[in-house]
């Protein structure tokens, strides 16, 4: 498959009465967008705020972050199976509004989490502080249940990103990146001497607020399967995961998966990137056994020499991670796992809830229990009281002066297990 | 199937559908009871750390085990001991949720219910 990603660089967002992109500024007609989003009968209101890098602004609790994209040439459309028809994506040409994102916020349940600080020490821990963000505050109608509320916010984010992405359809990209992948046989013929490497991408799939969708399919109901790496760049994988802010994969992460980007960069040079095996993280133990058996079986079908495995979340998924690692290693496939750590506030405790000697090559995204102090921001968008009751916050987390003392896990994307951030350890 | 829970919502829904043992206590009490069942030969069917709601934050926990007891299952023992280890590492914030705000208590109960429901409903339909 060959995919051209045409990037249109966005350096500002302005709310106005006409939606367009001009000279690097994204103008958004909020009334038109609001009317579109309020077609969802579960939503009572949608409000918009624009936040820029360096501003004294805190957004919480963040649900998802989505990069606007549009399919310009080739099969299918962005977010297939959910927004567009279910056709296979990943080839042709896609335009991206680079440097901006849609951020959804809303209090689905009482203990919701996810902070993005646009300046100060907190900003250093989240990649989304570097973007111009259109923040959407979505409030549900009275009587809406938690799962309906989550669905409404998720769909609002995707619809808004699609609406904005459409503005890029006829633009000339500032920069174009070309990604080309090989078939299983052609890759072997082309690069006979390079090690065959695959990526096992674990997707959160445990239930309400813990779900991921692939071509519209709830991943907990799917067996592990194979994706062409470029499919992820057109939104084949969407996040419905609202817990564990620091190490959940937002839709933005799936669209910009750094493991895929780096493996494609090395494809044909130091390795032969054969494909992506997606697998789930279910609650039922038999599912875990079956899925890790299958991800290993698919890796063997692809005759991989090596595999990278990335996790999503903490606790229960540690078992899936270790099962995947043990079985891949036992099949003779050299395996590196990417995870993060819950090693206690002093970093001295056991990092994962499961372990095995086969997991001898580990990349960490950092310690989610590290305590940080986030100074008061001039403006708070969302529900500031959530700071007291979000994961990693504790009683008294929200100080009277508006500052927050909490564990790093409150910050969206801080210890991302795809490695989409700066923290690690040696 | 044997279901152990301290969540009234799970008890109300599943009490008549499978064998259910209700624990009148906190999250750690549920896991301790599950550990005792594992010691007496029951095998875990669901992971004792379901969900990414951190174990020290959710006051509710529901775990499914085999109804029949057999020889000690070492994998189940490893999992439940590791889960209790995580709980020892992170001091629980709420005991039974009585000390949490009412709407939050309801949210924690709903999440725990949804997670265990998603995991066991397909198996109960098959009559396991």
Residue A85 confidence class, pLDDT cut points 50, 70, 90 = very high
B115–A contact, CB cutoff 8 A: yes
* Domains in chain B: boundaries: 2-125
Place of tokens 């890759």: A187
Chain B residues in contact with A210 (beta carbon < 8 A): 51-52, 115
Query: Are residues B116 and A204, on separate chains, in Cβ contact within 8 Å?
Result: no
Tokens linked to A113: 């989490």
Report the share of chain B in percent with pLDDT over 90: 53
CA distance A376 to B35: 45
Query: Are residues A313 and B55, on separate chains, in Cβ contact within 8 Å?
Result: no
Note the pLDDT of residue B70.
96
- Mean confidence (pLDDT) of chain A: 94
Query: Are residues A389 and B104, on separate chains, in Cβ contact within 8 Å?
Result: yes
Residue range A229-249: mean pLDDT, rounded: 94
CA distance A352 to A115: 24
Note the pLDDT of residue A392.
57
Chain B residues in contact with A208 (beta carbon < 8 A): 110-111, 114-115, 118
Instruction: Return the active site residues of A.
Output: 242
> Smallest Cα–Cα separation from A204: which of A219, A185, A214, A222?
A219
> Smallest Cα–Cα separation from A262: which of A323, A197, A168, A209?
A197
Query: Are residues A207 and B115, on separate chains, in Cβ contact within 8 Å?
Result: yes
CA distance A24 to A97: 9
Query: Are residues B83 and A282, on separate chains, in Cβ contact within 8 Å?
Result: no
Note the pLDDT of residue B99.
65
Residue A367 has pLDDT above 80, yes or no: yes
Residue range A150-154: mean pLDDT, rounded: 94
> Smallest Cα–Cα separation from A26: which of A116, A118, A99?
A99
Tokens linked to A157: 């984010």
CA distance A61 to A115: 6
- How many other C-beta atoms are found inside a 10 Å radius of the C-beta of residue A218? 15
B103–A contact, CB cutoff 8 A: yes
Sort strands A371-374 and A404-407 into parallel, antiparallel or unpaired.
antiparallel
Mutation for B interface: A246, A284, A410, most B CBs within 10 A:
A284
Chain A residues in contact with B90 (beta carbon < 8 A): 342, 344
User: DSSP secondary structure string, A281-328?
Assistant: E-SBHHHHHHHHHHHHHHHHHTT-SEEEEE--SSSHHHHHHHHHHHHH
Residue A390 has pLDDT above 80, yes or no: no
B88–A contact, CB cutoff 8 A: no
The whole-number mean pLDDT for each consecutive block of 10 residues of chain B, a chain of 128 residues, reads 96 94 93 97 93 71 96 95 84 63 81 90 75
ipTM of the complex: 0.87
């Amino acid at each position: 498959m060959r995919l051209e990603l045409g990037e249109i660089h966005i350096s500002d967002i302005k709310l106005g009465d006409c939606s367009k992109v001009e000279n690097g500024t994204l103008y958004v007609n909020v009334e038109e967008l609001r009317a579109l989003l309020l077609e969802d009968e579960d939503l009572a209101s949608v409000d918009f705020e624009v936040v820029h890098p360096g501003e004294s602004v805190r957004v919480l609790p963040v649900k998802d972050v989505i990069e606007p994209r549009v399919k310009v040439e080739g099969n299918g459309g962005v977010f297939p199976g959910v927004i567009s028809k279910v056709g296979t994506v990943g080839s042709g040409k896609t335009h991206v509004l680079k440097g901006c994102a849609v951020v959804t916020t809303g209090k689905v349940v009482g203990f919701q989490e996810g902070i993005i600080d646009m300046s100060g020490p907190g900003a250093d821990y989240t990649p989304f502080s570097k973007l111009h963000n259109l923040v959407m505050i979505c409030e549900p109608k009275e009587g809406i249940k938690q799962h309906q509320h989550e669905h409404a916010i998720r769909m609002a984010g995707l619809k808004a990103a699609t609406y904005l992405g459409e503005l890029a359809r006829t633009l000339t990209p500032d920069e174009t990146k070309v990604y080309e992948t090989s078939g299983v046989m052609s890759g072997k013929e082309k690069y006979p001497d390079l090690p065959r490497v695959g990526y096992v991408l674990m997707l959160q799939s445990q239930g309400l607020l813990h779900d991921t969708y692939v071509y519209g399919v709830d991943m907990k109901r799917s067996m592990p399967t194979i994706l062409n790496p470029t499919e992820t760049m057109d939104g084949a994988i969407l996040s419905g995961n609202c817990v564990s802010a620091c190490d959940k994969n937002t839709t933005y992460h799936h669209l910009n998966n750094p493991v895929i980007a780096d493996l494609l960069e090395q494809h044909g040079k130091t390795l032969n990137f054969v494909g992506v095996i997606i697998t789930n993280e279910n609650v039922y133990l038999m599912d875990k056994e079956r899925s890790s058996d299958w991800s290993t079986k698919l890796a063997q079908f692809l005759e991989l020499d090596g595999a990278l495995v990335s996790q999503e979340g903490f606790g229960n998924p540690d078992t899936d991670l270790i099962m995947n690692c043990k079985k891949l290693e036992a099949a003779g496939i050299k395996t590196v796992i990417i995870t993060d750590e819950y090693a206690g506030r002093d970093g001295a405790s056991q990092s994962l809830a499961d372990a095995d000697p086969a997991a001898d090559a580990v990349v960490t995204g950092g310690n989610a229990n590290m305590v940080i102090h986030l100074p008061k921001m001039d403006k708070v968008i969302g529900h500031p009281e959530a700071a007291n009751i979000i994961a990693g916050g504790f009683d008294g987390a929200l100080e009277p002066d508006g500052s927050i003392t909490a564990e790093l896990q409150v910050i969206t994307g801080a210890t991302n297990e795809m490695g989409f951030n700066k923290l690690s350890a040696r | 199937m044997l279901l152990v829970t301290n969540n009234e919502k799970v008890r109300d829904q599943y009490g008549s559908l499978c064998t259910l043992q209700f624990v009148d206590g906190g999250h750690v009490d549920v896991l301790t009871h599950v550990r005792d069942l594992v010691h007496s030969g029951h095998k875990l069917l669901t992971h004792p750390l379901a969900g990414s709601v951190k174990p020290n934050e959710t006051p509710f926990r529901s775990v499914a085990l085999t109804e029949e007891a057999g020889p000690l299952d070492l994998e189940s023992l490893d999992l439940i001991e590791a889960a209790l280890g995580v709980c020892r590492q992170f001091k629980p914030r709420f005991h039974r949720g009585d000390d949490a705000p009412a709407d939050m208590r309801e949210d924690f109960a709903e999440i725990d219910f949804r997670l265990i429901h998603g995991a066991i409903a397909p198996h109960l339909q098959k009559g396991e």
